[in-house]
């Protein structure tokens, strides 16, 4: 397990306000190992779903105690009927029957999401063995967007030369509209503040201030205008800067910024990168991670009422530790 400076800082921060995080994938040893390190640092209380004897054996075999770790079997939960009714009430208008709700309430991802909705947990980390859609859909249906008229998106926290950056959206909205890109910019600025950054949001394109043309350039330019208008009306006013359309070099390099985007408060200093579509966001963060060894935490969801985060199926133990700590930090109101 590789403990970096940034990961250590996340654990320290999470421990300042201990939250209860559900880990539905107790059949996976990476999850059990990550839970041990998080519990040892008292960075969160953990509720793991799975077979109690097997999980207990995993820890005793390694001489690890289970302080701060609870094991729960959803099928045997005394609250199962309460959760099924809760789900039914929330989804009956969408056509869900009580019978369907009873079946779904024992599905591990739904069960964890319902625990959060019922106030029995503060966050959830899943996806080591489930697809993004499986993790994200119950979150969107049950926990829902924190702002009624804003979409939920995702972000990756990238740590490059010990400096964190927010990249959005690598996982949820495949081809965002101008409005969705604007929502993403605001949600990413909120995420940046939550993780200690002073957000300078670059709306990225292959064009800077009209140097290139095309439908995608227009989309990013219009999204920038919408995002700036949203910012003016939001509590983030004065706490974030948003600018675009910018090329990545203009966003990051002061010398290029002076030439291509003189006067911009973002260009040359951007720490939040908004991509025009999921393809670019997803490919960019994975390229940086693989070519450059950049630390990548995410995708984390942003704009939800309470935090549920998705793991990559290739996640390493240290990635899972980071995601649990991030989820606990997001859970602080």
Ligand X SMILES: CC(C)(COP(=O)(O)OP(=O)(O)OC[C@H]1O[C@@H](n2cnc3c(N)ncnc32)[C@H](O)[C@@H]1OP(=O)(O)O)[C@@H](O)C(=O)NCCC(=O)NCCS
Residues that bind ligand X (CB under 6 A): 94, 132-133, 136-137, 140-141, 145, 151-152, 171-174, 282, 299
Contact residues for 204 (Cβ-Cβ < 8 A; gap 6+)? 220, 244, 245, 246, 247, 248, 251, 273, 274, 275, 276, 280
Q: Which is nearer to ligand X, 26 or 299 (CB)?
A: 299
Q: Which is nearer to ligand X, 68 or 176 (CB)?
A: 176
**Shortest gap between Cβ of 19 and ligand X (angstroms)?**
23
Q: Which is nearer to ligand X, 178 or 249 (CB)?
A: 178
Closest to 38 in 3D by CA, of 67, 58, 6, 4 = 67
Residue nearest to ligand X (CB): 140
Burial of 210 (0-12, 13-18, 19+ CB in 10 A): exposed
| CB distance 37 to 1 below 8 Å | yes
Contact residues for 32 (Cβ-Cβ < 8 A; gap 6+)? 26, 48, 55, 58, 59
Burial of 273 (0-12, 13-18, 19+ CB in 10 A): buried
Q: Which is nearer to ligand X, 98 or 174 (CB)?
A: 174
**Shortest gap between Cβ of 32 and ligand X (angstroms)?**
23
Q: Which is nearer to ligand X, 136 or 197 (CB)?
A: 136
CA–CA distance, 157 with 256 (Å, rounded to integer): 24
**Shortest gap between Cβ of 278 and ligand X (angstroms)?**
6
Backbone φ/ψ region at 33: left (φ over 0), alpha (ψ -120 to 50), beta:
alpha
CA–CA distance, 224 with 226 (Å, rounded to integer): 5
Q: Which is nearer to ligand X, 224 or 282 (CB)?
A: 282
**Shortest gap between Cβ of 299 and ligand X (angstroms)?**
6
DSSP state of 162: T
C-alpha angle 200/204/208, rounded to 5°? Answer: 100
Please tell me whether the peptide bond between 222 and the residue prior to it is cis, using omega within 30 degrees of 0: no
**Shortest gap between Cβ of 201 and ligand X (angstroms)?**
19
Please report which residue ranges of 118-177 form alpha helices under DSSP H. Answer: 132-138
**Shortest gap between Cβ of 171 and ligand X (angstroms)?**
4
Q: Which is nearer to ligand X, 174 or 255 (CB)?
A: 174
**Shortest gap between Cβ of 11 and ligand X (angstroms)?**
24
């Amino acid at each position: 397990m590789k403990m970096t400076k940034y990961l250590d800082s996340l654990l320290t921060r999470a421990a300042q306000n201990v939250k209860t995080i559900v880990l539905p994938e107790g059949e996976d040893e990476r999850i059990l190992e990550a839970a041990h390190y998080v519990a040892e640092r008292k960075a969160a209380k953990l509720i793991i779903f799975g077979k109690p004897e097997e999980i207990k054996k995993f820890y005793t075999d390694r001489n690890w105690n289970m302080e701060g770790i609870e094991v729960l079997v959803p099928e045997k939960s005394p609250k199962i009927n309460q959760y099924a009714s809760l789900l039914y009430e929330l989804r009956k208008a969408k056509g869900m029957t009580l019978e369907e709700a009873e079946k779904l309430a024992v599905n591990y991802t739904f069960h964890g999401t319902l625990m959060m909705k019922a106030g029995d947990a503060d966050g959830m980390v899943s996806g080591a063995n489930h697809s993004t859609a499986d993790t994200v859909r119950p979150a969107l249906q049950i926990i829902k967007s924190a702002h009624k008229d804003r979409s939920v998106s995702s972000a990756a926290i990238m740590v490059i030369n010990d400096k964190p950056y927010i990249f959005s959206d690598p996982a949820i909205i495949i081809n965002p509209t101008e409005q969705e890109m604007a929502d993403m910019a605001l949600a990413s600025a909120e995420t940046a503040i939550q993780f200690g950054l002073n957000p300078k949001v670059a709306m990225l394109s292959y064009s800077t201030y009209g140097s290139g043309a095309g439908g995608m350039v227009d989309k990013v330019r219009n999204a920038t205008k919408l995002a700036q208008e949203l910012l003016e009306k939001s509590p983030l006013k004065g706490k974030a800067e948003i600018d675009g359309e910018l090329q990545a070099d203009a966003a990051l390099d002061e010398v290029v910024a002076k030439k291509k985007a003189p006067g911009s408060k973002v260009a040359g200093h951007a720490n939040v990168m908004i991509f025009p579509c999921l393809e670019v966001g997803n490919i960019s963060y994975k390229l940086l991670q693989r070519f450059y060894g950049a630390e990548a935490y995410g995708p984390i969801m942003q704009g939800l009422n309470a935090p549920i985060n998705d793991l990559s199926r290739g996640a390493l133990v240290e990635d899972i530790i980071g995601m649990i700590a991030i989820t606990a930090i997001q859970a602080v109101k």
